[in-house]
Structure 1
């Protein structure tokens, strides 16, 4: 999942079946549910048959991200790479999506590149980068105790949230 999600012109269904043309409607709806996209697709007049403009310009950034995540889920890969794929989501949607993903991706390797601490806090292993170099590694709790760089990141995000 790239930072900038991309949708093809066609329908929502066409986009979701891109990597697995034989996917059932149930598989599509399951993926949409996990990706927190089922509600907005159901609200569309044509549901899965709703048109998507080239690049997904007729849906919001968060909807694009969620549709692309659903498309990835339909293919059931063994490895997921989410490159800042949750950045256009509000914090509550991000949390619901990650919770739903946890069960769905239990047998897969999941790599999340993220800038929000809340997005990566539950990871089994967090790599802290500084100027492109790994400076620390551990769980959220371990890094809070041992990593000045991670502590600084957490504090800056908490301060920003407290001020908002």
Structure 2
């Protein structure tokens, strides 16, 4: 169903399926029984199920390995094409394909544009 579909997009389906109770598995308070990357993928899956007009991902990809991050972002882009997606990220790979990137330095906007544009204008 919809929950499984969202878990697949968020790259959470495989690790959920390996849990003894699968999608009925309980998550401990604070998520102590899942890794940081698994917590992030579960949060992304939960957001996808809701289908909001605006998604805000605040450092939601930082604990993911590069392969999982790349696959997730590709699937996420097609799934959220009719929504506004704001991504706060430290890692450039998480935002390279964004329509618009806003670069902040100590709270000041120092650049706005695509990755290609910013390579020419930002230090």
SS at match of 2:87: strand
1:47-101 C-alpha deviation (Å, 9 max, x unpaired): 1111211121111111011001101110000000000110111111111110010
The answer for the alignment partner of 1:98 in structure 2 is: 73
Match of 2:96 among 105, 116, 121: 121
Q: 2:61 is matched with which residue? A: 86
> Which position in structure 1 is the counterpart of 2:35?
60
Q: How far is the alpha carbon of 1:146 from its aligned partner?
A: 1.5
Residue of structure 1 in register with 2:110 after alignment: 135
Match of 1:51, SS state, is coil
- Structure 2's unaligned 5+ residue stretches are none
Which residue of the other structure, out of 11, 17, 31, is the alignment partner of 1:42?
17
Normalised by the length of structure 1, the TM-score is 0.74
4+ residue stretches of structure 1 with deviation over 3 A? none
From 77, 85, 106, the counterpart of 2:52: 77
* CA distance in structure 2 between the partners assigned to 1:112 and 1:28 by the alignment: 22
Unaligned runs of 5+ in 1: 1-25, 149-164
- In structure 1, how many angstroms separate the alpha carbons of the residues matched to 2:121 and 2:27? 47
Instruction: Name the count of aligned residue pairs.
Output: 123
TM-score (norm 2): 0.97
Give RMSD over aligned pairs. Answer: 0.7
